[in-house]
Amino acid sequence: MRHRIAGKHLNRTASHRKALRRNLAASLIEHGTIRTTPAKAKEVRPFVERLITIAGKGTLHARRRVIALLQDRAMVDKENRDELAEQTVVQKLFDEVAPRYVDRSGGYTRIIRLPERRIGDAGQQVLLQLVEESPAAASPESPGTTSARRRRAARRAEAAKAATDQAEAGTAGERAEDAEADEQGESSEKEKQPDQRAEAEEQADQE
């Protein structure tokens, strides 16, 4: 009986499962996204997040723990596929991946289901991706760290502010139109005054 035995067998032996988990995790760290089956993605996801959490400490002990769990390997150069990159998988994890999630407590990956099936056995496919987040985006005002209620309240406040600005702009426009109309009325009255004076002088001459 399998009492209190966690995890999936994935139709593989223990050593094969460990190698599969390490290879998928290294590929995810190297490329940022991988295409696999839902069962494998759910099996690799907690392993990768544990590695990122350990790497976030940035100590020598943390680096040794990650190497013991992941087994460091070289990466292929993106520009020249025939050569190896200067960084290894563990170096990229500590230098680029882990610093992005310093202010994030878990939830470094996501699983996106794909509509197309795998050719051959028509198996379902998913994308396992690293969540894109930088230290600048991890501020308290960012959508990723605020609740839905606060985001709705912020949107309402922005809409109210926009409506207030629009109303103030309309009031200012009406005031400008009224001032322009007053100026036109004053100028027309000034133009009428000389005519009235001339008529009065003509009447006086006639008398």
Closest alpha carbon to 54 in 106, 15, 89: 106
Q: H-type helices in 12-37, by residue range?
A: 14-31
Question: Residues 9-27: pLDDT tens digits?
Answer: 999 999 999 999 999 999 9
Question: Residues 138-172: pLDDT tens digits?
Answer: 444 444 446 677 777 888 888 888 888 887 877 77
**The pLDDT of residue 2:** 75
As a whole number, the mean pLDDT across the chain is 83
* Structural domains of the chain, ranges and CATH numbers in brackets: 14-139 (3.90.1030.10)
Name every residue whose Cβ is closer than 8 Å to that of residue 84 and which is 6 or more positions away in sequence: 74, 75, 76, 77
Question: Residues 38-90: pLDDT tens digits?
Answer: 999 999 999 999 999 999 999 999 999 999 999 888 888 877 877 888 889 99
Half-sphere exposure of 164 (CA within 13 A, CB side): 6
Which comes out higher in pLDDT, residue 192 or 149?
A: 149
